[in-house]
Amino acid sequence: MEISHSFQGLVEFAPGFRPRPGLSHVLFDFDGTLSLVRQGWPDIMVPMFAEVIPAIPGETEEQRRQLAFEDIMRLNGKQTIYQMIQLAERVKERGGTPQEPLTYKHEYLRRLDERIRHRVAGLRDGSIQRDDLTVFGTRALLEALRARNLPLYLASGTDEQFVKAEAEALGLTHYFQGHIYGAQDDFRKFSKKMVIDRILAENRIPGGSLLAFGDGYVEIENTKQVGGLAVAVASDEANNGSGRFDAWKHQRLLGVGADICIPDYRDLGPLMDVLFPK
């Protein structure tokens, strides 16, 4: 692993990485990249998948959970409905009769709400500090980017109403100046690729001017497809501020083309120097 001398914490650069001039617009994923309100969501989704997917002879529950985990995380960053479509396909391929993906989604959201509702309430009444539920260094990074007058965009696979409510509870809304986008009831009307295409078209900029931060496959792949620079945030969500990589994110996100991989934003100065060389 390459450790830059100016970074105090962990960082890894893709082979052949070179800083580039001209980065002018910044896209963020939300959950796991900025927000920890939904930390632990796989602990809700994986057991639900394992519960619904029919077992095959000789398969252990642990093997079924691992299958579910891989299916879920491969689609991490896309709208939740795509994970539920995948669940329905798994049920069907194993001889079961699946429910509608939207039914699965509503059940998942019901279970998740039971886990996280106290977090949003705590943020609103002040019993939980906002920075306790944002990835370490988030606010300082957003301040530094805004100080450079860079337009910031947020795109999430979580339903837009929840993204906006949670961003507001975390005190992050104003950084994005109306550019907060999330999943829609008609899932065909939203994707991170559509947001990226819109940023490039409306601002008449080449893909190479786009900088993106994310902890999922989708935003990394979509950014690289247009020639942008992608920073993978392999955040250790369960231990915010640990400075350690989440091993699964670290390996997979570099594997789909991330230019830089960091665990959080503790090394803001060196990171900004790399992204915006003088």
Q: Which of 107, 125, 143 is the last residue of a domain?
A: 125
d(CA 213, CA 28): 5
| Residue 41, C-beta contacts closer than 8 angstroms, at least 6 positions apart | 31, 112
Q: Kindly indicate the confidence band of residue 5, based on its pLDDT and cuts at 50, 70 and 90.
A: low
Judge if 211 and 240 occupy the same domain: yes
The whole-number average pLDDT for the span 226-244 is: 97
Please give the residue range of the domain that contains residue 60. 42-125
Q: Kindly indicate the confidence band of residue 2, based on its pLDDT and cuts at 50, 70 and 90.
A: very low
Q: Kindly indicate the confidence band of residue 258, based on its pLDDT and cuts at 50, 70 and 90.
A: very high
The whole-number average pLDDT for the span 97-104 is: 96
Judge if 32 and 49 occupy the same domain: no
Residue 223, pLDDT > 80, answer yes
Token digits of residue 153: 């965009």
Is 1 part of a structural domain of the chain? no
Q: Kindly indicate the confidence band of residue 20, based on its pLDDT and cuts at 50, 70 and 90.
A: confident
* Mean residue pLDDT across the chain: 94
Percent of the chain surpassing pLDDT 90: 91
The whole-number average pLDDT for the span 196-202 is: 97
Residue 4, pLDDT > 80, answer no
pTM: 0.92
Is 3 part of a structural domain of the chain? no
Per-residue model confidence (pLDDT) at position 152 = 98
Q: What is the 3-state secondary structure (H, E, C) of 193-211?
A: HHHHHHHHHHHCCCHHHEE
**Tokens 């699965």 belong to which residue?**
104
Burial of 118 (0-12, 13-18, 19+ CB in 10 A): exposed
Is 16 part of a structural domain of the chain? yes
Per-residue model confidence (pLDDT) at position 185 = 82
Report the domain count for the chain: 2
**276: how many CB neighbours lie within 10 A of its CB?**
17
- φ/ψ of 27, rounded to 5, equals -110, 135
Per-residue model confidence (pLDDT) at position 3 = 44
The whole-number average pLDDT for the span 157-175 is: 96
Judge if 21 and 149 occupy the same domain: yes
Is 178 part of a structural domain of the chain? yes
- From the list 236, 240, 33, 262, the residue with the least C-alpha distance to 128 is 240
Percent of the chain surpassing pLDDT 70: 98
Token digits of residue 173: 């809304």
First to last CA, the chain: 26
Q: Which of 93, 125, 157 is the last residue of a domain?
A: 125
Per-residue model confidence (pLDDT) at position 19 = 86
Judge if 121 and 161 occupy the same domain: no
Residue 146, pLDDT > 70, answer yes
Is 217 part of a structural domain of the chain? yes
Per-residue model confidence (pLDDT) at position 63 = 96
Residue 212, pLDDT > 90, answer yes
What is the domain-level CATH number for residue 255? Answer: 3.40.50.1000
Beta carbons of 84 and 104 less than 8 angstroms apart: yes
